[in-house]
Amino acid sequence: MANEGDDSGISPESSSSRYMVVRPERGGIRDLFRFLLTGNRASAAKFFESSDEDVVAEGSLGGGRRGTPDHCARYLIIRPENGGIRDLFRFLLFADRASASKFLQGSDDGVVSEALWGGRRGAMPDHRWVIFVSIIFRKIISLFAKPMEWIGYLFEFLLNLLSDNGSLLGLLYNLLRVRVIMPERGSETFISAIGHLDGRIDLYETRAASAGRTLQYELGDRDLMDLCMMASKLAYENEKVVENIVDHHWQACFSLCLCILWISTVVGMVRNELEIYLHSLKAAGNYQKEKSTQVFIVCDKVEDANLVLISFRGTEPFDADDWSTDFDYSWFEMPKLGKVHMGFLEALGLGSRIDTSTFHNLLQEKEVDNKTGEKTPITEMVEMSAYFTVRSKLKSLLNEQKAAKFIVTGHSLGGALAILFVTVLVLHEERELMERLLGVYTYGQPRIGNRQLGRFMEAYLDHPLPKYFRLVYCNDLVPRLPYDNRTFLYKHFGACLYYNSLYSEQKVNEEPNRNYFGIWYLIPEHLNAVWELLRSFMMGYMYGVEYKEGWLAVLLRVVGLAVPGISAHSPINYVNSIRLGRDKTIRMSTL
């Protein structure tokens, strides 16, 4: 029999069936208008009874969007900190809605449903595994965040203590003489762990450079690729190290006047964005920085420059937030742009998941100038934003250097920020800047968005010649993150230059084993890691003393025996790939 008061006459007996029952007698006029005007969930629950929440979302709240207007952005935020292990397994095995609500926050029910069932109920889809693994990794990273920071601090101190005193023997000798040289963090001699991993600082000398001729940078040029990679590696260093290397090493190498134009650490995500809205007139110095983005800019001449280069810092080895961002699957979607990785938007200072409206507001904020002079929450966030700060500096530099073109680069997270920076320039219709873009080179870059984003950008970066080059070394884990599957659809775009462990270069649409964890690649990955470890002892004999790998690089190769994707991500592999690549020239016609 139908339930009492069921005007539809339909009996929902089977758990596999889907149904919706409208019950007009349960709510009042106030509830009815709240449901109509705002799509209020509590009011809707009084009038509708259904087999699952998706039916209510689709049938009563606007196709799964809870009454949100069609033009509004959609988003999914994954919050690993909100639930426990029991909730996580209930989410994984049974797609339990209550457990999922602890980890997943969506703009509408449809978004959460996709994360649970791929839009429909059924067998466990692979994307629940993806979210499960992501949450587990991020929980582990969060658990060890402070120990990682302390270990990194101590580790870099010890590395610099050894290098400043010559070696372990030199340190012991200086101890006996009571003349130990103590490292000073932030000085021009204090090198990061990345810098110690690969001590090369000079640029690649081609025949043209060694002959003293002026170098003309062109897309696909090996020297340009090397310059971008070395700049990406240099971005990990402090300001004084960057200035010292550019002024005293890069100038001599190319007989060019490479010079630092600007270097800064700018704010990415701000912890207390809600404080900005509640106390919008507070001084910017009172805001706590949760993430920062270091970037520096160089040019090839002090005056009449031809090239301006912007380099973003990548994932720091001992920064838990950086690694957590790489494993984060949260996204923000705009109708024109597509889905964009939320963590990368935050790193550029383009919003915060604490208040998702900030993403929409800042992505639509094309102009920085505030004509009224009044301080507003948005103008304050703009002033603090990494994206707007770099864009403003770039505009002023290009106004001074009328003939110059600019190139953007970065390794790892820095590569994601590099292409995202250009993406937002396109979104903001910065046509004059885009006309002077020479190219984008990224190294070991994670995916930043879905296929729609790729199509949006390909129209600007692929014609008449490709301007976006994405270099991937062998089994590098990071370019295979975030996961690419039917639900998340994180996709790479641009021209991919793939290098295997023999440094053979190949132009491909997508790197092999695009999601890394494929079972068929497990044994080959570990066998290749063994080869790379053995090769590290022979590099100096095979290619010369500059390619000899130190004890720290060898130690990382040992770690790679357990996790091949980590050791493959090292900048040393990308420098070697460019300089030793089998195909010494990249033919633009083939791209």
- State the amino acid at position 191 in one-letter form: I
Q: Report how far residue 343's alpha carbon sits from residue 397's, in angstroms, rounded to the nearest whole number.
A: 28
Q: Report how far residue 537's alpha carbon sits from residue 549's, in angstroms, rounded to the nearest whole number.
A: 7
Q: Report how far residue 585's alpha carbon sits from residue 591's, in angstroms, rounded to the nearest whole number.
A: 12
Cα R_g (the chain), whole angstroms: 27
3-state SS of 181-222? CCCCCCCCCCCCHHHHHCCCCCCCCCHHHHCCCCCCCCCCCH
Closest to 284 measured CA to CA, from 296, 276, 293: 276
The catalytic site residues sit at 412, 476, 569
Own/partner long-range contacts of 173-180 (Cβ < 8 Å, ≥24 apart) = none
Identify whether 464 is preceded by a cis peptide bond (ω within 30 of 0).
yes
- State the amino acid at position 372 in one-letter form: T
Closest to 570 measured CA to CA, from 283, 298, 196, 299: 196
Owner of token pair 């090839």 = 300
Q: Bridge partners of 309? A: 298, 407
Distances (CA, A) of 286 to 101, 195, 281, 384: 33, 33, 11, 12
Pairing of strands 104-106, 74-78: antiparallel
Secondary structure (3-state) at 94: helix
DSSP symbols for 257-294:
--EEEEEEEEE-SBTTHHHHHHSTTS-GGGSPBS-EEE
Q: Report how far residue 499's alpha carbon sits from residue 484's, in angstroms, rounded to the nearest whole number.
A: 21
* Distance in Å from the first CA to the final CA of the chain: 67
Own/partner long-range contacts of 460-466 (Cβ < 8 Å, ≥24 apart) = 460/426, 460/434, 461/422, 461/494, 465/219, 465/588, 465/591, 466/219, 466/494, 466/495, 466/588, 466/591
Sheet holding 74-78, edge to edge: 104-106, 74-78, 331-334, 338-341
**416 and 445 Cβ atoms separated by less than 8 Å:** yes
**408 and 418 Cβ atoms separated by less than 8 Å:** yes
**340 and 449 Cβ atoms separated by less than 8 Å:** yes
Among the residues of 4-52, which ranges form H helices?
29-38, 41-47
Distances (CA, A) of 155 to 150, 159, 171, 200, 408: 8, 6, 16, 20, 31
Q: Report how far residue 63's alpha carbon sits from residue 269's, in angstroms, rounded to the nearest whole number.
A: 32
